[in-house]
Homo-oligomer: A and B are copies of this chain.
Amino acid sequence: MSSKRLDGRTPDALRPIQFTRHWLPEVPGSVLAEFGGTRVLCTAIVENTVPHFLQNTGEGWVTAEYDMIPASTGTRHQRRRGSRPDGRAVEIQRLVGRALRCIVNRKAIPGRTVWVDCDVLAADGGTRTTAINGAYVALHDAFTALKEDGSIKQWPLTESLQAVSVGIVEDTTMADLNYYEDSSAEVDMNLVMTGSGRLIEINGGAERSSFSLEQLNALLDVGQSALVQIAAAQEAALQP
């Protein structure tokens, strides 16, 4: 595909990626993850308790929360403090938590819960995938700190984790949609995969009409190649 996007990218190109580790000096696992204009602060904090259903099982837990600051969208969106459920946030944080648990050997963190918080500071599309990519780096740092102070013996991560959004916009299949592209997409899909190329989550669909199985395959192709680049960026960021 030779057509250009509004920001000059080719359909399969990603936005500039940056992972700034230790963004909060007091929190070993704290990463400012940026994909173009999208900026998510991902933190992983370990507590010495587990949920009720895991007590005395020898397993730990990983859970996630996702929120957006009011100014993140440019025009202010209402702060969520009241009693109305924010369906979208709940759906996203369930996804982040489940994806992270798939790459963690929870027997390696007995009696511990890792709280992963993803606070969106700037939202220009792909906040949930940016959250997952940054959360992986933050989790890596949190576990490194646990390992270094002798709190755990076994390395809990079994694989690396990547996520990307793919979509069909004006009949073009593309990766890493920004806000403008996301709003006008006919099909919008998130892929979460491991570093070894196995699927953890495929989640998405048509916003207004429907799409063919051929289009699904094209989306999977674009996504896979994007995930490889993201894995490389994470690995580079995690170099000491």
Contacts and interface: CB of A to CB of B under 8 A. Distances in A.
A209 interface: yes
Contact of A94 (B80, B87, B94): B87
A94 B93 CA distance: 15
A44 to B, nearest CB: 9
- Main secondary structure, interface of A, reads mixed
Copies of this chain in the oligomer: 6
Interface stretch (A12-20, A128-136, A192-200, A232-240): A192-200
A28 to B, nearest CB: 10
Interface string A8-52: 000000000000000011110010000001000101010100000
A76 B65 CA distance: 12
Given A26-B37, A75-B45, A117-B69, A206 B210 contact: no
Interface stretch (A148-156, A169-177, A211-219): A211-219
A38 B202 CA distance: 26
Given A200-B210, A203-B203, A204-B201, A41 B69 contact: yes
A94 B89 CA distance: 12
A87 B95 CA distance: 11
Indicate the size class of the contact surface on chain A. Answer: 35 or more
Contacts of A88: 94
Nearest to A201: B205
A25 B71 contact: no
A65 B70 CA distance: 9
A199 B220 contact: no
Given A27-B74, A43-B70, 13 more contacts: A26-B122, A41-B121, A45-B70, A47-B76, A70-B119, A76-B117, A87-B87, A87-B90, A90-B91, A101-B208, A194-B210, A202-B205, A203-B204
Closest 6 A/B residue pairs (Cβ): A85-B85, A83-B83, A201-B205, A87-B90, A198-B210, A43-B71
